[in-house]
Amino acid sequence: MYDMVCTRPDLAHIVSMVSKFLSNSRRQHWDIVKWIFRYLRGTANYGIMFSRQHGNPSVMRYIDADYAGNLDDMRSTTSYVFTLVGEPICWNFIFQSLVALSTIALENITMVEATKEALWLTSLVKEMRIQKGGVQLHCDN
């Protein structure tokens, strides 16, 4: 969980999928956990590397949604990532608890959730005197 939350956003989806079965796990779930550990062993040198870069010091937000993509319960998933000078600083992957009627509605739900985080990040970067403006939004809708 630490790797997923703090250093490895590539694990967010699979860890949250297998975590749903912690209280009632079967052999196939343990096989997936072993696969995750093999993946971690093979990619031990991967992670987020922050380096001093010169460029546009603006916070950018990328969001995406998957309408009813979970084959187990047909729930939708949403995710977003915020970057600063091209490096990820905040990300989230969410199984939606509500049912959206369309992809457009789901994208709007995702934008609202990410906007809450954007407001906090905007005040943080202004306080640190990194950026004076708002957050740029990139969405495929």
Q: pLDDT of 41-100, one tens digit each? A: 888 887 666 666 666 667 777 777 777 666 666 677 777 888 877 777 777 777 777 766
Domains of the chain: total: 2
52 is a domain residue: no
Q: What is the pLDDT of residue 128?
A: 75
Establish if 51 belongs to a structural domain.
no
Tell me, yes or no, whether 36 lies in a domain: yes
Phi, psi of 45 (to 5 degrees): -90, 5
Specify the pLDDT at position 6.
Answer: 63
Same domain for 132 and 75:
yes
| Amino acid letter, 66 | D
Residue 110 near residue 63, CB atoms below 8 Å = yes
Residue 18 located in a structural domain: yes
pLDDT score for 49: 65
Whole-number pLDDT of residue 54: 64
In-domain check, residue 9: yes
Q: What is the pTM of this model?
A: 0.59
Residues 94, 127 within the same domain: yes
Q: Do both 101 and 127 map to the same domain?
A: yes
Q: Is residue 23 part of a domain?
A: yes
Q: Which residues contact 96 (CB under 8 A, 6 or more apart)?
A: 75, 76, 77, 78, 106, 109
User: Are 28 and 91 contained in the same domain?
Assistant: no
Higher-pLDDT residue of 38, 46? 38
- The range of the structural domain enclosing residue 15 comes to 2-42
Both 88 and 21 in one domain: the answer is no
Quick one: 79 and 124 in the same domain? Answer: yes
Residues 23 and 92 in one domain: no
